[in-house]
Amino acid sequence: MQRRQIIVVGGGLAGTATALGLAAAGFDTLLAAPKAPEDTRSSAILGRSLAFLAELGVVDALGENKAPLAVMRIVDDLGRLFRAPTVEFKASQVGLSAFGINVLNADLARALEACVASTGNLEVRPLAARGLMLSDERAVVTLEDGTEIGADLVVAADGRRSPMREAAGIGSRQWSYPQTAIVLNVQHGRDHRSVSTEFHTRTGPFTQVPLPGRRSSIVWVEDPKLAELYVDLKPEKLETTIAEKMHWILGDVSIDGPIARYPLGGSRVERMTDARLALVGEAAHAFPPIGAQGLNLGLRDAEALVRLAEESRDDPGSRLMLRRYDAGRRGDVASRTAGVDLLNRSLLMGFLPGQIARSGTLAAMGLLPPLRQFAMREGLVPGAGFVGLPRSLRKWIGGQETGGDRVEEQRHRRN
């Protein structure tokens, strides 16, 4: 039987980043994953997730294929009695030049692949994993060609229907929303100025996120029946509809590439580990593309797992390490899942007290700079709302250091 220290199953963005991080930390790593189809969506990479990718050389490998996110704006477009004021979250208000970057998933996948190719102790096999056996002593993965490989640790990053999770008997709770996301990229007549705008509508968020040049990605959450009608419109009519949805803030738009639709739903597992097994990314949690949390949460899984494996180098799949990983990720996953779910449901809610509460929260953020800054720091790094942003984050995304940064970094690490 063949043997590796760590096997990562699943070649999506989170899985590949996890394998790359483990290999860069010196572990003999195998990435088992068929080549994924090209993904036309984009992802906003923020905070600690961006720092993790930067340390692995992925951000440099992206070159010019990324756009900074300097301002995030929320516009109440619900047309209801209690309308919240427009709120702008500016990275400069927390000492940063940008919150992070937005990048096409296909470009990010290529940058990850380039870094993988230059990493010596990482083997990639374009094969799916078909079997998994776990014990306290070791894990054994069976690939689709029948090869059995033993390992100290298996990382399941094989999606929300994870076969590895199912083989381990880890239960998950699934739910769906009465919504469909229309995802596409557009060119536009005016410069986006590194501003992302999220329009809150009665069917869900309509979000514009900058891409390089005069281009943006669009995530348009809509009623499923209406979504089907919209994607079947003639291109000229759809372009006009999109510009109207954005209130013409970027002028005329033209569709740039294919249009995709995704039914919205979420999932969460009862635990993120088993004997010699850790779950990462959508194998552990999934929710709608709202608030730029999905991939960022998966990358924070990866960063935490790599760090804890380094601290347990003699046995990276030990029971203690996995217990620490599960406990350490529980709060972040629970809070982000609940936050996205609450925001999405609040937009669909016709209940008047709920509308007032939502509008009041946004109004408070707009009027109270300390509350707004707390929300920005917490959105970038869990726990940073209380202790400030770590210096490592400022290093990677162009922040300005202050005299208290070193103290804040030490406090953040202790927490």
pLDDT tops 60 at residue 350: no
What pLDDT score was predicted for residue 113?
Answer: 96
Query: DSSP assignment, residue 182?
Result: E
Same domain, 285 and 319: yes
Distance CA 410, CA 415 (A): 9
At 340, is the pLDDT very low, low, confident or very high (cuts 50, 70, 90)?
Answer: confident
Domain that holds residue 385: 352-414
Distance CA 284, CA 266 (A): 11
Least confident of 108-117, 346-355, 356-365: 346-355
- Residue 395, judged by CB atoms within 10 A of its CB (0-12, 13-18, 19+), counts as middle
Tell how strand 253-255 and strand 148-156 pair up.
Answer: unpaired
- Residue 314, judged by CB atoms within 10 A of its CB (0-12, 13-18, 19+), counts as exposed
Single pTM value for the model: 0.86
Is 187 inside any structural domain? Answer: yes
Is 343 inside any structural domain? Answer: no
Q: Is the dihedral of CA 399, 400, 402, 406 positive or negative?
A: positive
Q: What ranges make up the beta strands (E) of 189-297?
A: 195-201, 204-211, 215-222, 253-255, 260-269, 273-274, 277-279, 285-286
What pLDDT score was predicted for residue 87?
Answer: 84
Same domain, 17 and 150: yes
Same domain, 325 and 389: no
At 409, is the pLDDT very low, low, confident or very high (cuts 50, 70, 90)?
Answer: very low
**Residue percentage of the chain with pLDDT more than 70:** 80
Same domain, 151 and 278: yes
Arithmetic mean of pLDDT over the chain: 86
pLDDT, tens only, 52-101: 999 999 999 999 999 999 999 989 887 765 667 788 889 888 888 899 99
pLDDT, tens only, 369-399: 665 666 656 666 666 555 565 666 656 666 5
Same domain, 166 and 118: yes
Same domain, 122 and 14: yes
What pLDDT score was predicted for residue 79?
Answer: 72
Q: What is the mean pLDDT of residues 217-225?
A: 94
Same domain, 124 and 51: yes
Distance CA 389, CA 409 (A): 7
Three-class SS state of 344: helix
Is 342 inside any structural domain? Answer: no
What pLDDT score was predicted for residue 404?
Answer: 38
Query: DSSP assignment, residue 401?
Result: P
**CA nearest to 223, candidates 267, 261, 173:** 261
Same domain, 170 and 188: no
What pLDDT score was predicted for residue 126?
Answer: 96
Is 345 inside any structural domain? Answer: no
CATH number of the CATH domain containing 88: 3.30.9.10
What pLDDT score was predicted for residue 196?
Answer: 95
Three-class SS state of 118: coil
What pLDDT score was predicted for residue 47?
Answer: 85
Six token digits for residue 35: 């080549």
Distance CA 200, CA 291 (A): 12
Three-class SS state of 121: coil
Look at the chain and report how many structural domains it folds into.
Answer: 3
- pLDDT top residue among 111 and 414: 111
Q: Is the dihedral of CA 137, 142, 146, 147 positive or negative?
A: negative
